[in-house]
Chains A and B, each alone.
Chain A
C-alpha cells in the first residue's frame, strides 16, 4: 500500500465547505432536471399533441438525461478532477455508442417497414422477374 501512495503525485485535497456546497448544488440540479423530465413525460400523456411535438419532447428528455449523466460522472464520481488522459480512456471508447444507437435503431425501423409492406405473393414472383419489381414503385 505504501508503494501505491508514492506513485500518486497529486492528492485531491480534502476540501471543506466548498466540496459540500458543490455536492448540494449538484443534487439540486439533478432533482430539478428530473422534475422537468417528469413534467414533460406527464405532459405527453395528459395533453393531446402532434406526433412531431411528442418526438421533439422525447429528444429534449434524452438530452436532459445526458446532462444528468454528465453531472453524476463529473461531480459525484469525480471524473472531472482526474488526469485528462484517464478521462479520455474512459470517454473515448463510449463514443462507439453513437454508431451503435444509430445503426440498431435504423435496423429496427427498417425491420418494421419491411414487415408492414411485405406481400407473400410478391415475394414469390419478385426474384423470378427483378425488372418488374423495380417498376412497381
Chain B
C-alpha cells in the first residue's frame, strides 16, 4: 500500500530514475517475450485459419489417447495432462527460486532451480515419447483403394474420417486426414519444445552461477528473475498450445 501511494507522488519522467522502475535487462526480457508472443500467436492463428478452412479436422481425443506402458488402452488426454502439470509445477518451483533470490537465500535458490531443471527435462522427455508414438504408431488407412499402415508425420495424416470398408486385422480403417494437421502439430509443439530446451539450458547456467556464488557476490539475484520470466513464458505458451491442439 505504501508503494502504491508513493507511485502517484513520484515524478517518473523528470530524470534520474528508471521511469518503469525496472532494471534494463528485465525490461528488455519483457519486450523480447512480447515479440515472442507475437511469433507464437502468428503460428497458432495460422493453424486456426487452416483448421477453419477444412471440412474435417481430427478429434484430439482420438489422436492423443496413449499413455506410456499402457499398451492400447484408450486414455484420451491423460498423457498431455501429465505434461501440463509437470510444466505448471516447474513454473511454481521457478517462482519459488525467484522468491528465494529476493531473500538472498542461496540454498533455496539452488534447491528450487534443481527442481525446475528436473521439471523441464521431464517435460522434454514426455514430448519425445509423444512424438515417437505419433510418428511410429501405424494406423490402417485406405489410400487409392489400398489399405496402408501410416503414422502421423508432416506429410501423412491417418486421422481422417472412417473408410466405408470392413475392419482390417481387427482395426478400424480410416482415410487420410488433412495433411496440415501433422505439420502444424510438429511445427508448433516443436517450436515450443525448442523454447523449453533452451530454457532448461539457461536454468542450468543459472544453477551453476548460483552454486558458484556469482549472484551472492553481486548482491542480487536478478538473473534468476530474468530466467524466471522466460521460463514462465514457456509455461504461458503451453497453456495456449494445450488449448489449441488438445482441448478444442
Taking the complex as formed, is A69 at the interface, i.e. its CB lies under 8 A from any CB of chain B?
Answer: yes
Minimum distance in angstroms from B162 CB to a CB of chain A: 16
Minimum distance in angstroms from A112 CB to a CB of chain B: 5
- Determine the chain B residues whose CB is within 8 A of the CB of A19 once the complex forms: 99
Verify B20–A85 contact, CB threshold 8 A. yes
Taking the complex as formed, is B146 at the interface, i.e. its CB lies under 8 A from any CB of chain A?
Answer: no
Taking the complex as formed, is B164 at the interface, i.e. its CB lies under 8 A from any CB of chain A?
Answer: no
Verify A38–B77 contact, CB threshold 8 A. yes
Q: Choose among A62, A79, A104 the residue with the greatest number of B CB atoms under 10 Å from its CB.
A: A104
Verify B102–A41 contact, CB threshold 8 A. no
Contact with B along A15-34 (1 / 0, CB 8 A): 11001100100010011001
Q: Which chain A residues in 44-67 approach chain B with CB under 8 Å?
A: 44-45, 58, 61-62, 65
Q: Which chain A residues in 62-88 approach chain B with CB under 8 Å?
A: 62, 65, 68-69, 72-73, 75-77, 79, 82-86
* Number of residue pairs A-B, CB distance < 8 angstroms: 163
Given contacts A72-B232, A94-B37, contact A82 B77 (CB under 8 A): no
Taking the complex as formed, is A7 at the interface, i.e. its CB lies under 8 A from any CB of chain B?
Answer: yes
Minimum distance in angstroms from A35 CB to a CB of chain B: 8
Bound: A31/B228 CA distance, A: 20
Number of A residues contacting the other chain (C-beta, 8 Å)? Answer: 60
Verify A9–B10 contact, CB threshold 8 A. yes
Verify B34–A93 contact, CB threshold 8 A. yes
Query: Which B residues are closer than 8 A to A by beta carbons?
Result: 3, 6-7, 10, 12, 16-24, 27, 30-31, 34, 37-38, 41-42, 45-46, 48-55, 59-62, 76-77, 81, 84-85, 88-89, 91-92, 94-96, 99, 102-104, 218, 220, 228-229, 232-233, 235-236, 239-240, 242-243, 246-248
Closest A-B pairs by Cβ, 6 of them: A108-B52, A45-B61, A108-B49, A14-B102, A86-B20, A111-B53
Known: A72-B236, A76-B235, A107-B49. 10 other contacts (CB 8 A): A14-B102, A23-B96, A58-B248, A65-B242, A82-B20, A86-B20, A89-B20, A100-B45, A104-B45, A116-B55
Q: What are 23 sample pairs from A and B whose C-beta atoms fall under 8 A apart?
A: A7-B16, A8-B22, A10-B3, A10-B7, A14-B102, A20-B99, A27-B88, A34-B85, A42-B61, A42-B77, A58-B248, A65-B239, A65-B243, A69-B239, A73-B236, A76-B94, A76-B228, A82-B20, A90-B31, A97-B45, A104-B45, A105-B48, A108-B50
Bound: A93/B45 CA distance, A: 16
Minimum distance in angstroms from B36 CB to a CB of chain A: 12
Bound: A105/B51 CA distance, A: 9
Verify A112–B19 contact, CB threshold 8 A. no
Verify A23–B95 contact, CB threshold 8 A. yes
- Determine the chain A residues whose CB is within 8 A of the CB of B94 once the complex forms: 76
- Determine the chain B residues whose CB is within 8 A of the CB of A23 once the complex forms: 92, 95-96, 99
Verify A85–B19 contact, CB threshold 8 A. yes
- Determine the chain A residues whose CB is within 8 A of the CB of B236 once the complex forms: 69, 72-73, 77
- Determine the chain B residues whose CB is within 8 A of the CB of A75 once the complex forms: 95
Verify A62–B243 contact, CB threshold 8 A. yes
Verify B23–A4 contact, CB threshold 8 A. yes
Taking the complex as formed, is A115 at the interface, i.e. its CB lies under 8 A from any CB of chain B?
Answer: yes
Taking the complex as formed, is A121 at the interface, i.e. its CB lies under 8 A from any CB of chain B?
Answer: no
- Determine the chain B residues whose CB is within 8 A of the CB of A8 once the complex forms: 17-18, 21-23
